[in-house]
Structure 1
Amino acid sequence: MIQRSPSMDSVVQCLLNDSRLEIMLVRIVECTADSFSMSVEYQVTATGPVGSVVDAMLVDLVYLDRPFGKVRLPQTKTRFNGTDVHFYDQTIHVTNMSIWLQLLSDLTHKEKLVYHLRNGEAHLTGPFGTTAQCGYNKDIHVLGMNGLPVLIKDVDREERKVTLTMRNLSTFELDYGPTVFEIQEGGGKGQWRTIARLKGDFFTKRGEFHVAFEVETVSLDGEIDHAQGGEVKESGMRPAAKKMGLDADKTYRFQGVGTDKEGAWTNEAIKFIRSPILLTEKFISLY
């Protein structure tokens, strides 16, 4: 076996530093109070003209210079034209919940963001048994959801259901499970009140996807501001609700409220979803 030398380590370190990691998919499911199951598909490119084997390694997940968990990257066989890599159903334990939630908030609202893989120890095996040991740190550039735009696709008046079309521009998919959203009406003073409650399974998918919700209309007589902790005690159609129309002076938003997973971090993350929505005449007819 050819012995490893400091100069060889330096060359390989430069190749690792110049390599690129492009995320194709991050799917997050089975969310608890402090963990989730994650599946990732990504591509490694710009690793140089000579192939090598990079052993599996544990790295820190970092956002805003603060670690929030660890992930084990699988063994990778690099190729000059790029390498597809994946792992599925790896449990991630969240060590800094505030940073993890900040990442999710920024992912929901921003067009682009960067998180990091840090403090990895990469052991490489090259041609003819050559080996090298290097540090592994990588910046991961991803697209955000940019507000998660939402449109009303269809309304079933008899079943009292609405189908929404949503557009997720990022490569992240997240299963919130049974979820409650609200349609909220905003006036000129910035006050919001709930006019309908939507309930259904919610799983953000890549690209354009459709979600069906059961609709519960809410009285418009009360001055309820759910965003400030108010509780709506009455539901169903009331005279004031019948007068509702498409008022140009008011705006409406699709607001996440909570999931049925008691104590799970998704109950906070769902509140980051706050998208403007244009109500249709067919939706108004539910009232």
Structure 2
Amino acid sequence: MNAITQAIVNNSTLEITRIKITNATKTSFLMSLECKVENTGPISATMTPMTLSMSGNAGCFGTLKLPEIKTCSSGTTLTVTDQRIEIVDMDAFVAFNKSIICDSSLTLHLSHGSTKIKALFLTAKITYQKSVHLKGMSGPVTTMLSTTTTSSPGTFTNTMRALNPSPLEIDLGTLHQELRNARGEKIATQKGKVYFGLGETTYVMQGEVTGVEVGEGEVRVLGVGVEEE
């Protein structure tokens, strides 16, 4: 029974349709998750609550507690709302966030899930692990919508628009950016609160010029870091 059930679970699919990361601190963050569990076979079953290790390309950064899951032949939707995740490796967590923002694709590894599956009055112990492939933000592609000068010399306000093609949302807090000309020279710095939601996001940045001429060609926006809060 255990071997058969384990094989069914191994062949099942887990699609993450939304991940939201907010309220990050030096020790923890909040995660919300929406998933589809499919290909679990023709018989309905119940999977007991379990704890999963979450890993990105730089290793495990935290553990996720999943509630009881009731599967059915047509598929099951799983939702986790604002779960507090303790960060076990900050470097791994930072690398995962960087991959979310910068890469076109990434993989979230869920592992070490010890659970039981109950079906047809029988119970089987299984180990749950999945590698979930996700679409990243690819930058995201950012456009400067408008620029206005402020009362202080050399300062300005920029309204920016970012396009996020992924199912991932992230609250960056206060983001620092540099504006660079076609020669790669820093022509200005700017900062502001940024939350990358699904699809299109508009945010406002306060900036200061460096005195370097803009010159000809496109201006690039480069994220250089976030403030610790």
Question: TM-score, normalised to structure 1's length?
Answer: 0.72
Paired amino acid for 1:98: D
Partner residue, 2:159 = 163
Q: Is 1:109 aligned with 2:117?
A: no
Count of residue pairs brought into register by the alignment: 225
Once residues 113 and 194 of structure 1 are traced to their aligned partners in structure 2, the CA distance between those partners, rounded to angstroms, is: 30
Q: Is 1:136 aligned with 2:120?
A: no
Partner residue, 2:80 = 87
Q: Is 1:179 aligned with 2:160?
A: no
Q: State the shift of 1:37 in Å.
A: 1.1
Once residues 68 and 148 of structure 2 are traced to their aligned partners in structure 1, the CA distance between those partners, rounded to angstroms, is: 50
Q: Is 1:120 aligned with 2:113?
A: yes
Once residues 227 and 57 of structure 2 are traced to their aligned partners in structure 1, the CA distance between those partners, rounded to angstroms, is: 30
* 1:108-164 deviation line (CA, Å, top 9, x unaligned): 23222222111111211113x221111111111101112211112233457843221
Once residues 65 and 198 of structure 1 are traced to their aligned partners in structure 2, the CA distance between those partners, rounded to angstroms, is: 29
Instruction: Give secondary structure in 1 for the equivalent of 2:25.
Output: coil
Instruction: Give secondary structure in 2 for the equivalent of 1:11.
Output: helix
Once residues 27 and 65 of structure 1 are traced to their aligned partners in structure 2, the CA distance between those partners, rounded to angstroms, is: 20
Q: State the shift of 1:65 in Å.
A: 7.7
Partner residue, 1:70 = 63
RMSD of aligned Cα (Å): 2.0
Q: State the shift of 1:214 in Å.
A: 2.6
Partner residue, 2:204 = 212
Structure 1 gaps, min length 5: 1-7, 221-240, 263-287
Partner residue, 1:261 = 228
Max Rg structure? 1
Query: For structure 1, which segment, 58-67 or 91-100, has the greater mean C-alpha deviation from structure 2 after superposition?
Result: 58-67
Question: TM-score, normalised to structure 2's length?
Answer: 0.89
Once residues 159 and 138 of structure 2 are traced to their aligned partners in structure 1, the CA distance between those partners, rounded to angstroms, is: 21
Once residues 13 and 74 of structure 2 are traced to their aligned partners in structure 1, the CA distance between those partners, rounded to angstroms, is: 12
Once residues 79 and 65 of structure 1 are traced to their aligned partners in structure 2, the CA distance between those partners, rounded to angstroms, is: 35
Paired amino acid for 1:68: F
Q: Is the 8 A contact 2:45 2:70 kept in 1?
A: yes
Task: Name the CA shift for 1:48/1:65 in 2 (closer, same or farther; >3 Å).
Answer: farther
Structure 2 gaps, min length 5: none
Q: Is 1:38 aligned with 2:31?
A: yes
Of Structure 1 and Structure 2, the greater helix share is in 1
Identity of aligned residues (%): 28
Of Structure 1 and Structure 2, the greater strand share is in 2
Q: Is the 8 A contact 2:58 2:91 kept in 1?
A: no
Paired amino acid for 1:196: A
